[in-house]
Amino acid sequence: MSMVLVTGGAGFIGANFVHYLRRQRPEWQILNLDLLTYAGNPENLAELEGDPGHILVPGDIADRELVTSLFQRYPITRVVHFAAETHVDRSIMDPGVFVRTNVLGTFTLLEAARQAWQGLKGEEPRFLHISTDEVYGSLGPDDPAFTEATPYSPNSPYAASKAGADLLVRSYYRTYGFPALITNCSNNYGPYQFPEKLIPFALSQALAGKPVPIYGTGANIRDWIFVEDHCRGALLVLEKGRPGETYNLGGQQEKPNLELVRLLLQLLREMRPELGQPEELITFVTDRPGHDWRYALNTAKIEGELDWRPQVDLEEGLRRTLSWYLAHQDWLERVRSGAYRDYLRRQYGAAVV
């Protein structure tokens, strides 16, 4: 029986991928390694409780003894590496955590897999490293979208730590012939996303009748991909991508932040008219340091090689996301813990808490 190690599988994208994998490849066994920090929530996996095809292991990807023991105990032939510190604002507050998890953690996984797979007979192993469009830097309003050949130019500690991890993965393919692949994705949204990120943050603030802060003028542009489209692309690359290659997974849905939040709150007003005019809650706050202007990904490579395209447009994806959060407001309240409120106070000031 095939066994896949999914790191960070209790987090937002990782948990969505685990659920997607159980539907699409029910014959696979999933070993889910997650440190269960503030963003890694076992509740995201509640539907899989008692499922013999899913094993949750609480632990740190940078713990070499633990990671090595997992490769010794289990017949792991695939790795999908989501685990990472991902929030730019938090990386500005505490960059050391990002270097440890994203760089050292990735190195630890690579080394454990390389040692375990030496001389492996039978099934060809695969290691998929999930990365971000932020490693490429920032685009101007009229610049062409990033391609897989765009030089790296990270502008935040988060982006730099992911760039370092990407380069390590690439080096293992070049040096050792290690069966590595990389995907760089645009901004994800959908169910289970921790409310520090823009869409669930704006939604949770609006539901509470609190200010919805927007950095600067809200003109910064992001490309948005619905998380299920990302999961579908990741599985496709894992199974059919060429080792040593990088594939961009973009949603082809570019929006300025202010326009995105306005659309979100307009849809919320349609679905919950008793909330009044949530768009009036939008407020503008001082821009964050090193705020990239625009991200966009050229997806011609994965479209041509693997016939992947995003299927969920932004309005449909936002409606599906809103429906999930409105049906799971108890989940939202539980994750908005005291520690989260302390973070909001530090980042935006007392008015938003």
| Catalytic-residue membership of 307 | no
Helix axes 198-207, 314-327, angle to 10 degrees: 50
| Catalytic-residue membership of 158 | yes
| Catalytic-residue membership of 305 | no
Helix or strand holding residue 283 (H, E): strand 282-285
**If we measure between CA atoms, which residue out of 241, 107, 232, 212 comes closest to residue 170?**
107
Selecting among 60, 133, 223, 292, the annotated active-site residue is 133
CB 259 within 8 A of CB 307: no
Could you tell me the sign of the dihedral formed by the alpha carbons of 310, 312, 314, 320, in that order? Answer: negative
Give the list of residues 6+ apart from residue 51 with CB closer than 8 angstroms, or none: 22
**Torsion angle, CA of 338/339/341/347, rounded to 10 degrees?**
170
Selecting among 136, 158, 189, 247, the annotated active-site residue is 158
Selecting among 34, 60, 134, 229, the annotated active-site residue is 134
Burial code of 308-338, b = ≥16 C-beta within 10 A, e = fewer? bebebebeebbebbbebbeeeeebbeebbee
Give the separation between CA 306 and CA 309, rounded to whole angstroms: 9
Q: Could you list the active site residues? A: 133-134, 158
